[in-house]
Structure 1
């Protein structure tokens, strides 16, 4: 066994705080001792921050108190000095109007926390939807050694003889209740059991999509993305992640050492192959922007045309995340599409992606399909363009109804979310199964925050008539656990003066997924007439973070990051002062 390389503590970033014989270092050391630490605890050791997004209002992270202690154990095992630093928790189920409003705030906090403190490496603990991209975005910009520790999905749930999937089944059974097919007692029983444990949604929603994307991009240890939150293997992952963070500190192995445009392509290809959430598109564009790489919707569409969907996972397929884990996990799926991946891309493990997945075995061909028996041969997500979406829009075609993939119908327009809630179930609403439901004022500026309102509910009177899907358009996002023929992320959004703001009830709208088009059947002269008399949108915010958001957030096709946050942190590292 070869000896370990010489390790010089004076090269650690934290040495600038604690290693010098000067008054400022004296102050830093004395305050550590005021917390009960002694010289042996930190001298000559890498300081590894545990950035923990635990909160009692974030159900996905309710086990993170214990996991942080296990990460700490791994850091201590490898000779590091662990420090836990709480950062903002974005609990998808509890925050209004949407956690997406605060993704950039958490990204800013992660960047500043890493840069301003005596931190040599960091373990990023996240999992609930927006925590994953936010922490990765901030870590890229700070460019300090960082490794991601995903929360993991909750266990599968059962109600009577039914296997439940969080999110997607909630909507399914709610529709049944509205249609009069489900009693209050059954509805309450489902409520009591659908969230079966700590962890993220057990379907391939945004949380699991982004965890898989993070692993494919090289941010986690092998297999991390699919391990259920409450099994013993997840505890062992936490310890191993802590150990690896110490090694990364000694190696000064930073995001800029492994994150490349090839890493982004690997994440994108993975999100398509697992039938992942459309939210990954917005997040990957923002992540690429932190690397000063322009990722376009066109690139998504190019890869969508050649990437088969082989993960048979809800809401697009049949199985849950626990089944995916038991079938071999992400590494096994990646082996089946390895010719579509950049296998030489580096990962935080110190190995290439190809080395990391080598030897992975598919245990269940039903869950992880062979290439000759895919869920869909290509096109899990499609980009549409046309006069209603000059900068593009997206649809999760794998979750759409085949009969609606080429459809023309008359628009039923809702001005905003309250208008939709007030009128959608009114029996007097003029709507039929061929109508196109349209919601505006739901984008980054209009809502504000770009909430998951894109799966517009089907009117109750149509549910009672047996209608299960309709074409729905909006400048909103859609939960990764949602399904249906929903066109999303229409850009520019209505609040930014996009064509969506000018559509009137009764206008004909046509979508054509095979042709990748969306067309608003109104002539240019009429569009310009409407634009000329259209009122200016109201001011979006007067103060605080909302004002900052309104003044600087970019549109959906640009990732919805703040325009001043692209790229890495400029200037000198404060550690040198």
Structure 2
């Protein structure tokens, strides 16, 4: 570390004045010796542990292993909590609170005497929220993903903790799946510590953290219960101390090239559509101009290499045994910016040069991919003036070009009340349209876009239908589902004025989503439209409704974009 550059923490602990005395003396009640305050890099361990977040329930133990590494490298570790977002339990949706958790992370880092940060992440929103917050401060930062669960096992079959959820209604309807069956599957599905073991949003964001260069290479693919994960956690603690000495800040890693690498990698692994919103928000925090079209331009021609649910057959455990993300990065080769720097100080190309594949059914080659092109398709048309997205690898090929009659649900409550009504006028060729589930509409943009099909059609053997909404869907889900329609219905986008019986055209190859009515009729309907009353009048949700941006901008708060830096006013005691 350069002698000219003073550690940030020394502004708190380094002085022999009154405030130096105050800061050190109170910390001493925890038993820290003198040398901890005299030049050791202070490493904040940002922990999203909570017993209300099952995916992150093991992070207290992870923190201890990271601390061990920090101490070994000569650092001073201090663990602190931030808001934990448990996708499986929180209502109405954790996406409503992602920006709040990012604020918690940002202000906790900036306000305290920290020189570097370790982000302990797991469940879906805990990764983007903490990265977003840390980006805004821009200290040396490393991410330690909590890791996926081991495979679920149910009656001799492997099941995913997530993807199996979307089969339950079909099994109850067509396979006489009763309460005892459900309970047995429930017990078997999530059988170890860790987050969802499909390539859902949690695994996607862990993989993307590594593809961005924010982790040690190889850590994202390892299951939470694997002892090798523990080693990587300890090594991450060692590495963050070196990153502080090198002044390897987030902005030096999160370059335009890093974001492009993440988009390409997401396509190759069949990652979640939620990545689009999270990666865009992260880019806007760090100051990289990332557009919706970049995801299509960079990702849509990338071959699908990873055979994982929901796009494929296997789970994260097999992905690890097959060689993990390193194999994918090596296969992608010249599609990536190999010179992009990563948290270990090496480049992407250096980190994965020697990766080996041990199971080609799980990780394919570029020459013989599972699909020749995957990624995310960005749609345009009068139904989505500012864009919408679809994940082709999870969709039904026969529905990728389709025109059908709209069956409209004005809200989730309307959907639940009518979807299984035997008298509902709907058939397999119809297009299910769900309104009111965008960033402002729900509020929080829940993962409901992949709504269940009507029970009467499931009984007929219908597996998929075109579904359109301004919401999101779980990364564990599948189907021909158009998401993130913008502007959303609650702010007067075209989606707001779609009516039962309207004809809608989806043409993924042409990147088109069109409401088949005249411009004059569309203008008339919009003129008649009235905005709904806001669903909250106080607290954080009121702030969120006043400031949240649309999906194509990352659904962040407009008051949070851009870096604010690590400087904080000295107290005035």
Q: TM-score range by the shorter chain?
A: over 0.9
Match of 1:308 in 2: 303
Q: Which residue of 2 aligns with 1:13?
A: 8
CA distance in 2, matches of 1:463, 1:91: 30
Q: Distance in 1 between matches of 2:516 and 2:423?
A: 26
Counterpart mapping for 1:404-419 below 5 A: 404-419=399-414
Q: Are the counterparts in 2 of residues 118 and 575 from structure 1 also a CA contact under 8 Å?
A: no
Residues 511-522 of structure 1 correspond to what in structure 2 (within 5 A)? Answer: 511-522=506-517
- 3-state SS of paired residue (1:518): strand
Q: Could you list the per-position Cα deviations for residues 368-413 of structure 1 after superposition, in whole angstroms to 9, with x for gaps in the alignment?
A: 1011221111133211111100111001111111111111111110
Q: Which residue of 2 aligns with 1:345?
A: 340
CA shift at 1:306, angstroms? 2.3
Shift of 1:108: 1.1
- Matches of 1:416 and 1:283 in 2, distance apart? 24
In the other structure, the counterpart of 1:219 is 214
Q: Give the match for residue 3 of structure 1.
A: none
Contact 2:106 2:134 in 1 (8 A): yes
Residues 48-85 of structure 1, C-alpha deviation per residue, up to 9 Å, x if partnerless?
11100000000101111111111111111111111110
Normalization by structure 1: what TM-score? 0.97
Secondary structure at the aligned position of 1:300 is classed as helix
Taking structure 1 as reference, are residues 405 and 21 closer, same or farther at Cα in structure 2, changes over 3 Å only?
same
* Distance in structure 1 (CA, Å) of the matches to 2:188 and 2:455: 26
Distance in 1, matches of 2:188 and 2:302, equals 35
Q: Kindly indicate whether residue 216 of structure 2 is the aligned counterpart of residue 197 of structure 1.
A: no
Q: What is the match of residue 143 of structure 1?
A: 138
Contact 1:158–1:193 (8 Å) recurs in 2: yes
Q: 1:110 & 1:438 partners in 2: Cα distance? A: 36
**Which of 182, 205, 210 is 1:187 aligned to?**
182
Which one of 408, 423, 443 corresponds to residue 438 of structure 2? 443
CA distance in structure 2 between the aligned counterparts of 1:295 and 1:107, rounded to whole angstroms: 19
1:345-494, aligned counterparts within 5 Å? 345-494=340-489
Question: Is this contact kept in 2: 1:49–1:85, CA < 8 A?
Answer: yes
Structure 1 unaligned segments of length 5 or more: list them.
Answer: 1-5
- How many aligned positions are there? 572
Preserved contact between residue 407 and residue 426 of structure 2 (Cα < 8 Å): yes
Q: What's the CA shift for 1:42? A: 3.5
| Residue 508 in structure 1 maps to residue 503 in structure 2 | yes
In the other structure, the counterpart of 1:546 is 541
Q: Is the 8 A contact 2:491 2:531 kept in 1?
A: no
SS of 1:566's partner is coil
Counterpart Cα distance in 1 of 2:69 and 2:51: 25
> How far, CA to CA, are the matches of 2:226 and 2:169 in structure 1?
31
Q: Which digits, 9 at most, give the CA deviation of each residue in 1:280-339, with x for residues without a partner?
A: 011111111012222111111111232111111110011100111111110111100011
What SS does structure 1 have at the residue aligned with 2:167? helix
2:137 and 2:565 in contact (8 A); partners too:
no
Q: How much does 1:576 deviate?
A: 11
Query: What is the distance in 1 between the residues matched to 2:175 and 2:489?
Result: 35
**Equivalents in 2 of 1:416, 1:215: separation in Å?**
37
1:460-492 deviation per Cα after TM superposition (whole angstroms, max 9, x unaligned): 011111111001000000000000010000000
Residue 29 of structure 2 is matched in structure 1 by 34
SS at match of 1:411: strand
Residue in structure 2 matching 1:46, options 27, 31, 41 = 41
Give the whole-Å Cα distance in 2 for the aligned partners of 1:201 and 1:466.
28
Contact 2:270 2:374 in 1 (8 A): no
Are 2:516 and 1:531 aligned? no
CA distance in 1, matches of 2:383, 2:568: 45
Deviation at 1:536, TM superposition (A): 2.5
Distance 2:431 2:406 in 1: 5
- Tell me the alpha carbon deviations over residues 507-565 of structure 1, each in whole angstroms, 9 at most, x when there is no partner: 00110111111111111111122222222221342111011101111000111011121
For 1:545 and 1:576, the matched residues in 2 are separated by 27
- The reply to whether residue 275 of structure 1 matches residue 277 of structure 2 is no
Quote the Cα distance in structure 1 between the aligned partners of 2:570 and 2:359.
50
SS of 2:279's equivalent?
helix
**What's the secondary structure of 2:135's corresponding residue?**
helix
The equivalent of 2:64 in structure 1 is: 69
Structure 2 distance, partners of 1:126, 1:48, is 16
Calculate the TM-score normalised by the size of structure 2: 0.98
Aligned pair 1:153/2:148, yes or no? Answer: yes
Out of 286, 292, 307, which is 1:297 matched to?
A: 292
| CA contact 2:48–2:56 (8 Å) conserved in 1 | yes
Shift, 1:571, TM fit:
8.4
CA distance, structure 1, for counterparts of residue 125 and residue 178 of structure 2: 35
Is residue 2:556 matched to residue 1:561?
Answer: yes
The question of whether the paired residues in 2 share the 8 Å contact of 1:9 and 1:15 is answered with: no
CA distance in 2, matches of 1:409, 1:15: 65
> Does 2:59 match 1:59?
no
**1:36 Cα deviation after fit:** 2.2
Contact 2:110-2:567 within 8 A present in 1 as well: no
2:233 matched residue in structure 1: 238
CA RMSD of aligned residues (A): 1.5
